[in-house]
Amino acid sequence: MPTRPAAADAITVVAGQILFDFSRQRIAQGSWQDAIDSLTQLDFPGQRRALFTGGRVNTTEGRAATHTQARDHALAITARQIETLSRHAAALVADGVDTVLHLGIGGSDLGVRLVHEAFVAVGLEPRCRLRFACGLDRAEWREALDGLDPRHCAIIVASKSFRTVETLELLARARRWLQSAGIDPERRLHAVTARGDLAASLGIARSHIALLDESIGGRHAIWSALNLGLRAAWGDAPVAALLEGAHAMDQHFVRAPLARNAPVLAAIARFINRNRRQLTDHVIAPYSWGLRSLPRYLQQLLMESLGKRVTHDGEPVSANPCSSVWGDQGTAAQHAFFQWLHQHPTGAAVDFIAVRPEEHDTAGATLFANAVAQAQALAQGFRPEHHGDVGDAHRSAPGGRPSTFIALPELSPPILGALLSFYEASVFAEACLAGVNPFDQFGVEFGKTLALDTVRAVVAGETTNLDAQALALVRWARAQEEPKDD
């Protein structure tokens, strides 16, 4: 039966006040060192330096990736941008607004939603409500508007390109909603975008447009103008603390030796688990209600960044660059898919994220204990005490399932910032190991373009660029007939 790794192979690191325990990663010390040596040979230190100094790390689009600078208050340009955002947020809620409705999808939604949920769980005091809508389904739109008074609602439309189909449809719905209540949309509509010209052309006042830097991708935009809604709802202080925590983790990522660098070690573990042990699934299990959206947030961060088929040079990748990332919150996950984690022939690697319980917090202690117990059970496996029964095989689990335990001292804005920055940095290191560009997403862009053709087909009957299978589905959708059973 597999046993816990020897103490010599155990690696724990504290960074940004967070404890990262890699001791259940079944990776020998020599393998850790080999991967670190590979990073050095790939000039990871130089690539990391380029990331933090404005180098063109986004090689396919020929631009920098400046999200780390957006959370560095010491930079004059960052301080000015934060001052501008602060004034915008204060003005947004000054005119009798009790609710901000944030419209956006993907990177324009996931980070804001995650941080908002965490702030609610922490028990911070908001100055107004924050609601979300991201998709086209009218049921979601009705739910987002439920109980809202358009006379006291401000609406933020978030889209870097301001061409996202879902978000533009939501903008149109919001405009009609305001107009139906006799409210001038220009008073209540705001935008967060890199294309201020397009937002203005759609009737949003220039003074209501918060500009995104073109060099900050959607999945990293929570650190920049995208946090406008958070500032409006929660004020500047918790958002500043979020950014400070992220910056603290940045400093660890830049300064810590690679062998004691939490994001680097996480990247190595995922890369080795996937390419040497064929564990292509990576599960995120946060044992905190405030982090329930973390799996979806990380799903985009990792899979959109690393889901690439070619290297920087356009050559086919020689190693699997990306895991399939999924998960769910806490003990609910145990009652959903942990059976698969324990007894499936392959299983997956897991990140357990748990918050240190406060004194006399029995529920918090139970959550933390469950996370620790599951990590141990996955590592050690289990088998019945009495052997020989025909059902022993059904009651046994092999163990040997790797996991990283991420222990948060508390759930607070700076700790959350450090956690998200940790994952961003680990993605950058993993991209270096795989030789891919983590800052583009051309697969997503192609899907959006094809969807526009398909929408025209379903709505208007145009059939350009559709294959036979797609055309058959479009004809079925347009027939408006009751389907007949075979």
- pLDDT single digits (tens) 39-59: 999 999 999 999 999 999 999
Residue 205 is classified by DSSP as -
Residues 6+ apart with CB under 8 A from 314: none
Residues 338 and 426 in one domain: yes
CATH number assigned to the domain comprising residue 91: 3.40.50.10490
Q: Is residue 297 part of a domain?
A: yes
Strand ordering across the sheet containing 189-193: 129-133, 99-103, 153-158, 189-193, 209-211
The domain total for the chain is: 3
In a domain, 486, yes or no: no
**Cα separation of 249 and 399, whole Å?**
32
The answer to whether residue 461 scores a pLDDT higher than 90 is: no
Instruction: Say yes or no: 215 and 343 in one domain.
Output: no
277 lies in some domain: yes
- pLDDT at site 2: 33
Mean pLDDT of 315-328: 97
d(CA 471, CA 477): 10
Residues 406 and 275 in one domain: yes
Domain boundary among 193, 212, 234: 234
Claim to verify: residue 293 and residue 421 sit in the same structural domain: yes
The pLDDT value recorded for residue 387 is 60
Annotated catalytic residues are 304, 335, 448
Sequence-distant (6+) residues with CB within 8 A of 24 are: 4, 5, 375, 378, 379, 402, 403, 404, 405
Q: Are residues 204 and 262 in the same domain?
A: no
pLDDT band at 1 (very low <50, low <70, confident <90, very high): very low
- Could you give the maximum distance between any two Cα atoms of the chain, in Å? 77
Confidence of residue 4 (pLDDT cuts 50, 70, 90): very low
pLDDT on residue 395: 87
Q: Which of 177, 204, 234 is the last residue of a domain?
A: 234
Mean pLDDT of the region 25-47:
96
User: What's the average model confidence in pLDDT over 433-444?
Assistant: 94
Between residues 479 and 389, the one the model is more confident about: 479
pLDDT tens digits along 102-148? 999 999 999 999 999 999 999 999 999 999 999 999 999 999 999 99
pTM of structure: 0.94
Residue 1 resides in a domain: no
In this structure, are strands 12-15 and 99-103 parallel, antiparallel, or unpaired?
Answer: unpaired
Return mean pLDDT, the chain. Answer: 93
Count each helix (H run) and each strand (E run) in the chain, helices first: 19, 11
pLDDT, tens only, 261-273: 999 999 999 999 9
pLDDT value at residue 389: 66
pLDDT, mean of residues 324-353: 97
The verdict on 277 and 303 lying in the same domain is yes
Quick one: average pLDDT of 360-369?
96
Amino acid at site 278: Q
**Residue 485 falls within a domain, yes or no?**
no
In a domain, 53, yes or no: yes
Verify that 330 and 450 share a domain, yes or no.
no
- Do residues 104 and 187 both lie within one domain? yes
- Rounded to whole angstroms, how far apart are CA atoms 109 and 222? 9
Residue 428 has pLDDT above 60, yes or no: yes
Do strands 189-193 and 209-211 pair parallel, antiparallel, or not at all (unpaired)?
Answer: parallel
- The answer to whether residues 292 and 429 belong to one domain is yes
Domain-embedded: residue 368: yes
Output the pLDDT for position 319. Answer: 96
Asked whether residue 47 falls in the same domain as residue 126, the answer is no
pLDDT confidence of 5, banded at 50, 70, 90? Answer: very low
Give the list of residues 6+ apart from residue 217 with CB closer than 8 angstroms, or none.
Answer: 65, 67, 107, 160, 439, 441
User: Same structural domain for residues 450 and 428?
Assistant: no
Tell whether 94 and 165 lie within a shared domain: yes
CB neighbours of 3 closer than 8 A, spacing ≥ 6? Answer: 380
pLDDT band at 390 (very low <50, low <70, confident <90, very high): low
pLDDT tens-place string over residues 274-311? 999 999 999 999 999 999 999 999 999 999 999 999 99
Please tell me the distance from the alpha carbon of residue 248 to that of residue 416, in angstroms, as a whole number. 11
Asked if residue 103 belongs to a domain, the reply is yes
With beta carbons less than 8 A apart as the criterion, state whether 400 and 2 touch.
yes
Q: Show which of 213, 234, 255 is a domain's final residue.
A: 234
Domain that holds residue 181: 72-234
Mean pLDDT of 200-208: 97
pLDDT at position 386 is 63
